[in-house]
Amino acid sequence: MISDTLAFWAPGLFELLIILMAIPVVLIILVVMYVTRGSKEREKLHQKMAELANELKQTQEQLKEQKKDKL
């Protein structure tokens, strides 16, 4: 009786194949999501760096103009 109950809940060959095929698929999906999120974050970082570089150039130009005006 107990062995029948335990055997009822034990996965069969078909269930094991589904589980073993699902694990790599889930892992691939997680890796793809991680890579896409990383590339989006990298793109945001590049945009922010470009904005800061432009701001720095503008500040340097303003300082040069102020120095020329003083002379």
pLDDT digit string (tens) for 19-69?
889 999 999 999 999 999 999 999 999 999 999 999 999 999 999 998 888
Asked if residue 63 belongs to a domain, the reply is yes
Residue 71: per-residue pLDDT: 67
Asked if residue 16 belongs to a domain, the reply is no
Asked if residue 50 belongs to a domain, the reply is yes
Look at 53 and 1; give whichever has higher pLDDT. 53
| In the block, residue with structure tokens 């003083």 | 70
For residues 50 and 48, what is the distance between their CA atoms, to the nearest angstrom? Answer: 5
Residue 60: per-residue pLDDT: 95
Asked if residue 66 belongs to a domain, the reply is yes
Asked if residue 23 belongs to a domain, the reply is no
Number of domains in the chain: 1
Q: Does position 12 have pLDDT exceeding 90, yes or no? A: no
Domain that holds residue 57: 38-71
| In the block, residue with structure tokens 């945001």 | 44
Asked if residue 27 belongs to a domain, the reply is no
Residue 62: per-residue pLDDT: 94
